[in-house]
């Protein structure tokens, strides 16, 4: 799942970055990893990518481009790297324009499309990279969104009659002149697998994955809306209503109809009899027990002393949620500060960096606790098992006999410890 945002301003002095940032906060949970920003002006197109939200937010807030496309990603087919972040550029000699595409969705036939695009059509995937597992073996991976993007632009330029994807898709993209580098068209659409909302306000036209406004409507299934962004940006007077202008058109997109496999069953035979023991006179046969053992660091099991994984899970159930809670709380705190304008705008970047350092210090203690538990996966031998069992029992007893007052006191001590870490900073904490 990813998040898409597009915005076209009506006035040249509109703070588009701030408006898009507000929408980003509303749909922040759709993607917290890779980020991409397309700034569209009359003169050129600017692309900025990042792999963490702070840099992306700073770039977004500093943008005043009259048209913006923003993508925030949840990594699925590939890892979180700059190379995999959207937008994805599609260029080829058979195409009239270059394209920058942002996509939300997943494909099931990306490998088949990759073979067709690279072997038959001569496309080069910009997201193709080697991935190494823990044993050192490498495999080639690519972003499935690039396979969709190639299918989309070839359909736009009428090189294909249909988009041959199996899966879901919503998108926002632009077509760029190969000679001038200026944006020619901006377009957005979807099939039936992902939603895409749109609303026009006094500031401009907003397109996004989740618009929390009752006046917003959803883009139609299997359709694409397109605006001549070059003519729009060169207009002399701002339009009162972008949707009703002749610059905006809607077209139907023909998607490949996925084959539906209907399982065929053999015709029943007169000699067929129930095979379930409860419905048959036949006696069931018990298979011999499988005495094979799995010996690895994740089961704590060897030939003599099996150590059940469930005991380790108990420890993780107690430790990991605390770390997750702290991380979510601190990230939410940061965006609440951002939403309430509690940052000093004249020194915005510095205060954001300070907040990041504070979050890292607060989380350090909890992360160290989890790291200590993770080290247990590397323990071997009877001594290590006994020590781990003792630690688990101690942890269970401590939790079992603590009163509510004791638990509150323990939490108070942890908060005081965190505050002491913040006091050690050279600059006073802002919260």
Q: Which residues contact 384 (CB under 8 A, 6 or more apart)?
A: 376
Residues 66 and 204 in one domain: yes
219 and 351 fall within a common domain: no
SS3 103: strand
Instruction: Confirm whether 135 is domain-assigned.
Output: yes
From 227, 252, 277, give the residue that closes a domain: 252
Can you tell me whether residue 329 is helix, strand or coil?
helix
- Both 210 and 65 in one domain: the answer is yes
12 CB neighbour count, 10 Å cutoff: 11
Residues 97 and 18 in one domain: yes
Question: For 340-401, where are the alpha helices, taking DSSP H only?
Answer: 348-374, 381-400
Query: Does residue 74 lie in a domain region?
Result: yes
Domain that holds residue 101: 3-252
Quick one: CA dihedral 1, 318, 325, 367, positive or negative? negative
Does one domain contain both 210 and 327? no
Pairing of strands 98-104, 45-50: unpaired
Shared domain for 23 and 158, answered yes or no, is yes
Helix, strand, or coil here: 90? strand
Asked whether residue 298 is domain-assigned, the answer is no
Bridge partners for 6 per DSSP: 69, 207
- Kindly give the confidence (pLDDT) of every residue in the chain, 431 residues in length, as a single tens digit, with 9 standing for 90 and above: 789 999 999 887 778 999 999 999 999 888 888 899 999 999 999 999 998 889 999 999 999 999 999 999 887 767 788 888 999 999 999 999 999 999 999 898 999 999 999 999 999 999 998 776 656 666 788 999 999 999 999 999 999 999 999 989 999 999 999 999 999 999 999 998 888 999 999 899 999 999 988 889 999 999 999 999 999 999 888 788 888 878 889 999 998 766 555 455 555 555 554 444 444 444 444 545 545 444 444 444 444 444 454 555 555 555 555 556 656 666 666 666 665 555 555 566 666 666 666 666 656 655 565 555 555 544 444 555 566 666 666 655 555 556 667 777 877 887 777 677 666 555 444 44
Task: Answer whether residue 244 is part of any domain.
Answer: yes
Residue 68 lies in a domain: yes
Question: Are 16 and 128 found together in one domain?
Answer: yes
Q: Which residues contact 414 (CB under 8 A, 6 or more apart)?
A: 365
- Alpha-carbon gap, residue 25 to 5, rounded angstroms: 11
pLDDT of residue 407: 73
What does the pLDDT look like over 231-246, one tens digit per residue? Answer: 999 988 878 888 887 8
Q: Is the pTM of this model over 0.75?
A: no
Of 204, 219, 252, which marks where a domain is finished? Answer: 252
Query: Are both 31 and 172 inside the same structural domain?
Result: yes
Exposure string of 241-261, with b = 16+ CB inside 10 Å and e = fewer, is ebeeeebbeeeebebeeeeee
Are 95 and 240 within one domain?
A: yes
Interatomic CA distance for residues 141 and 163, integer angstroms: 22
* Structural domain count of the chain: 2
Q: Is residue 176 assigned to a domain?
A: yes
Residues 247 and 315 in one domain: no
Expressed in angstroms, the distance from the first to the final Cα of the chain is 32
234 and 331 part of one domain? no
Of 153, 160, 142, the residue nearest 189 (C-alpha)? 153
Buried b (16+ CB within 10 A) or exposed e, 186-225: bbbbbbeebbbbbbbeebbbbbbbbbeeeebeebeeeebb
Which tens digits make up the pLDDT trace of 144-158? Answer: 999 999 999 999 999
Give the C-alpha distances (Å, rounded to integers) separating 251 from 122, 153, 156, 189, 337.
28, 14, 10, 9, 42
Residue 228 lies in a domain: yes
CATH number of domain containing 210: 3.60.20.10
CA triple 50-224-163, angle to 5 deg: 85
The DSSP secondary-structure symbol of 117 reads: I
Chain centre distance of CA 198:
21
Domain membership of residue 263 (yes or no) is no
């Amino acid at each position: 799942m990813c998040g898409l945002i597009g915005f076209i301003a009506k006035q040249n002095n509109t703070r588009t970055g701030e408006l898009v940032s507000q929408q980003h906060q509303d749909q922040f949970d759709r993607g917290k990893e890779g980020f991409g920003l397309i700034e569209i002006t009359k003169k050129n197109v600017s692309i900025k990518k990042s792999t963490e939200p702070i840099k992306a937010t700073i770039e977004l807030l500093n943008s005043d481009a009259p048209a913006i496309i923003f993508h925030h990603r949840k990594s699925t087919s590939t890892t979180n790297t700059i190379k995999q972040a959207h937008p994805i550029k599609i260029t080829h000699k058979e195409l009239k324009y270059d394209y920058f595409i942002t996509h939300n969705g997943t494909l099931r036939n990306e490998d088949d499309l990759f073979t067709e695009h690279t072997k038959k059509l001569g496309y080069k995937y910009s997201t193709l990279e080697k991935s190494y597992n823990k044993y050192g073996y490498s495999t080639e991976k690519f972003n499935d969104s690039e396979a969709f993007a190639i299918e989309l632009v070839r359909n736009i330029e009428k090189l294909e009659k249909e988009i041959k994807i199996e899966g879901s898709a919503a998108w926002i993209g632009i077509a760029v002149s190969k000679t001038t580098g200026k944006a020619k068209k901006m377009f957005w659409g979807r099939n039936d697998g992902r939603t895409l909302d749109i609303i026009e306000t006094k500031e401009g036209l907003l397109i996004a994955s989740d618009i929390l406004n009752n006046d917003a409507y959803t883009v139609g299934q299997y359709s694409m809306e397109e605006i001549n962004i070059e003519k729009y940006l060169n207009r002399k007077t701002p339009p009162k209503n972008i949707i009703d202008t002749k610059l905006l058109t809607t077209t139907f997109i023909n998607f490949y109809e996925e084959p539906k496999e209907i399982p065929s069953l053999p015709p029943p035979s007169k000699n067929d009899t129930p095979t379930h023991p409860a419905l048959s006179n036949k006696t069931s046969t018990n298979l011999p027990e499988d005495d094979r053992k799995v010996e690895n660091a994740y089961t704590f099991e060897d030939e003599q002393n099996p150590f059940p994984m469930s005991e380790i899970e108990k420890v993780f159930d107690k430790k990991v949620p605390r770390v997750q809670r702290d991380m979510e709380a601190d990230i939410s705190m940061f965006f609440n500060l951002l939403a309430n304008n509690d940052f000093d705008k004249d020194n915005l970047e510095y205060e954001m960096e300070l907040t990041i350092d504070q979050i890292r210090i607060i989380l350090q203690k909890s992360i160290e606790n989890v790291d200590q538990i993770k080290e247990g996966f590397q323990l071997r031998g009877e001594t290590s098992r006994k020590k781990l069992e003792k630690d688990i029992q101690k942890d269970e007893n401590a939790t079992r006999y603590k009163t509510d007052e004791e638990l509150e006191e323990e939490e108070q001590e942890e908060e005081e410890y965190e505050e002491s870490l913040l006091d050690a900073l050279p600059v006073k904490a802002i919260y």
